[in-house]
Amino acid sequence: MKTTNTPLVSVVLITYNSAKFVIESLESVKAQTWKNIELVVSDDGSTDHSVQLCSDWLEVNKSHFFATKLITVPQNTGIPSNNNRGLRAATGDWIKTLSGDDNLMENCIVDNLEYAWQFPEASFITSDVREIDEDSMLIRDRVINDAVIFFTNLPSAEEQLKNYSRWPAFLNTPAFFCKREVWKMADYCDEEFRIYDDMTAVFRIMGKGVKLYYMNKPTVEYRVSPNSISRSEKVNDIRENEAYRIFKKYQTKHLNIFNPFDLSIYYENWLRFKYKGFKGHKGISYLRKLNLYYWYMRFKGVKSY
């Protein structure tokens, strides 16, 4: 560390039935090379023994932190609400968000702070992730998100917001490192939804004129599990319903049907949410190629669109 500046960083760790992985997540926070940490654990009505595990661990390890907090509720309220309880309880200058099945790499906070000191205008930072499986075995040492690279190379928050409205690409909340004042200014995540915390947060933060910055380095171990809320087939209908509501609430306000690119986004979302196919066949992969924005992104080298 090349500076004597020692800001307080709040790690907001959210849990819901996370008993299998939460101790590993907590230990990754404890192992940080940055030591001025407030640890806020927010549980969303777990029915396993997540709360007891966290409570016992915090009691034993509280001396390692500036402060610790455990927030519980009697019933499950959804990811955005759970995040918000933790975010509002945090008092640090910066907030590092984390899910109870993911881990921080040991230099995560130091790397983010050094990036922020290198780029003083950066108050909303994302980074790469390393993928691990349910046994904490490495899947991919580094996941390069070409969508993140595309968005963060745009020169302003306004242009980022416009393009994110066209394509709200996956930006992983556990990779976020954000000033507390920015979360407060953006009014946190949208509690109208139960699953999508990351997407609404990005819309709200960029909507306040805050640009997203990208640190070209993995800082988080992201656990890939078929049972996670982002992948489970059991909640696919709920995810799609929320995605459509986000399209109507957040995306359309930045789209103009007289703009050819924007019009193609309406077409894209019609395919996703309304198109029923013909005689049991949809052919979405072919029909998407009629989307002008698809070819624009290909021209820009974004293959994940």
Q: Could you read off the pLDDT of 38-68 as tens digits, one per residue? A: 999 999 999 999 999 999 999 999 999 999 9
Q: Which two tokens stand for residue 22?
A: 């939460």
Query: What are the tens digits of pLDDT across the range 156-203?
Result: 999 999 999 999 988 888 999 999 999 999 999 999 999 999 999 999
pLDDT at 129: 95
Q: How many helices and strands (H and E) does the chain possess? A: 12, 9
pTM of the model: 0.94
- CATH class belonging to 9-233: alpha beta
Map out the domains of the chain as residue ranges. Answer: 9-233, 255-299
Beta bridge partners of 209: none
Q: Using 70 as the pLDDT threshold, list the residues of the chain that sit under it.
A: 1-4, 229-231
Query: What are the tens digits of pLDDT across the range 157-170?
Result: 999 999 999 999 88
